[in-house]
Each structure stands twice: as C-alpha cells, then as structure tokens.
C-alpha cells in the first residue's frame, strides 16, 4: 500500500477530478482544503471517492469552539470525508467534538515562520493532548525532519505521523520517512507538474524504496 497523500490544491472541480484519476494508482489518500471545497461544494468529496476509490482527508484546520467544530465536522463527514484535520491549540474539548464524529488528525506543529510565535513553543503540550485523545494521527512538517523524529519519539506508537511539505517546499522523502513519518503529503510537485501521473509514480517509487 502506498503511503503517499496528494494535496489536491487545485480549485476547479474538473481539473481536481482529472488529476485525482490520473494519480490514484500511486496514492493512499487525497487531501482537500477549503479553497476546493468552497469552489466546488462538498459534493467534490463523494465525487473524488467515487472516481478513485481512495479515502479523502478534509484539511479544514478546524479551530473553533466545540459546538461550531461539531457542526462543521458533521457536515463534512456526512459528505463522505474519511478524515478531518483539526487544530489542537483550541483545546481538547474542541478536538474531542470532531473525534466523536469521525477519524481526526491533529496539527501539533507547523513550519511557516509565524509558527515560531505561538505554535512551536507549545508543541510538547499539543503532543501530550494527542497522546491523551489518541486521534488517528498528527500533522508534523516534513521540512524539519528533526522535529518529525522528535514528535514520533514523544507520541504513542499507534498514532500516525503525517507530514506535509515534501517536494516543492523542500522536504525530502527519504529523510522524512527515516525520521518516522507514516504518510507523506505532496502537492505542487504532483498537481503542478506537466505529467501528474508520472510525477506521482516517481514519488511513489521513492517512498517504496525507503519504506
């Protein structure tokens, strides 16, 4: 089984479905974000699943009070999403509201410069929160393999580590997998390539070689 996730950050429904179809053979799952969901409606989720047979991860970065998180998550799970990504920093009750409805992935670290201000100082607390709640997985940045390795070492064994930032953002497949990532997320290097299928195949082979 592949451990490659496609970040399908294109915003036209037709283009999204086309790239998903072309690359599905090499993927474990497809990740969608708000721009595609608001451009195409939640109906894009069942369409992607039907076209590819793959799970869909809704990268909502949910960060609201428990009741609002619950309302948003229930609509997105009902649409067919298999996983939802939620922020841990809003607290365990907000995350629990999502987990009660379906499989959840918690953000425990981010790698953009602004993440140094408030997120990175509390990564240990966010890992602790994940260990208490035992979600499906956590998000940790592939651009900092030493942090992936740190997070893996602190995290309960059953919780998956899922890493965005491989490819265009600089994360290296081999380094990130060696650091303990279970799944890697690749976006631009696949969807913005001249030949998305061939790019997905190449990254898939690289992942296989390292797994």
Q: Which residues are catalytic?
A: 59, 61, 64
Q: In the bound complex, what is the minimum distance in angstroms from residue 132's beta carbon to its own copies?
A: 11
Q: Tell me which stretch binds its own copies (CB under 8 A): 13-21, 59-67, 150-158, 192-200.
A: 59-67
Q: Rounded to the nearest 10 degrees, how much is the dihedral formed by the CA atoms of 206, 172, 27, 77?
A: 160
Q: Give the contacts of 185 (CB within 8 A, at least 6 positions apart).
A: 5, 6, 7, 31, 142, 162, 163, 164, 165, 166
Q: Where are the beta strands (DSSP E) in 47-200?
A: 56-62, 83-87, 103-107, 137-139, 160-166, 183-186
209 binds its own copies (CB under 8 A): no
Q: Taking contact as CB under 8 A, which single stretch among the options 108-116, 153-161, 178-186, 200-208 is the one that binds its own copies?
A: 108-116
Q: What residues numbered 13-42 form the site for its own copies, per CB under 8 A?
A: 33-35, 37-39, 41-42
**How many whole angstroms separate alpha carbon 113 and alpha carbon 208?**
31
Strand partners, 163: 184
Cβ-contact 32, 56 below 8 angstroms:
yes
Selected range binding its own copies among 48-56, 69-77, 155-163, 196-204, rule: CB under 8 A:
69-77
Q: Which is nearer to its own copies, 11 or 210 (CB)?
A: 11
Site residues for its own copies per CB under 8 A? 9, 11, 33-35, 37-39, 41-42, 60-66, 68, 71-72, 75-76, 87-95, 110, 112-119, 122, 125-126, 129
């Amino acid at each position: 089984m592949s451990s490659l996730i496609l970040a399908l950050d294109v915003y036209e429904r037709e283009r999204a479905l086309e790239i998903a179809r072309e690359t599905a053979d090499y993927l474990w799952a497809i990740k969608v974000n708000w721009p595609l969901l608001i451009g195409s409606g939640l109906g894009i989720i069942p369409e992607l699943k039907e076209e590819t047979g793959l799970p869909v991860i809704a990268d909502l970065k949910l960060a609201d009070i428990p009741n609002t998180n619950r309302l948003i998550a229930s609509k997105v799970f009902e649409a067919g999403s298999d996983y939802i990504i939620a922020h841990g920093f809003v607290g365990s009750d907000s995350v629990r509201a999502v987990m009660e409805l379906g499989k959840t992935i918690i953000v425990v670290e981010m790698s953009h410069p602004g993440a140094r201000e408030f997120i990175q100082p509390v990564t240990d607390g966010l890992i602790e929160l994940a260990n208490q709640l035992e979600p499906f997985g956590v998000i940790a940045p592939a651009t900092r393999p030493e942090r992936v390795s740190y997070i893996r070492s602190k995290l309960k064994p059953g919780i998956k580590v899922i890493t965005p930032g491989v490819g265009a953002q600089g994360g290296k497949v081999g380094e990130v997998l060696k650091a303990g990532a279970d799944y890697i997320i690749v976006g631009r290097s696949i969807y913005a390539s001249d030949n998305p299928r061939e790019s997905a195949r190449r990254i898939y082979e690289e992942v296989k070689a390292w797994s």
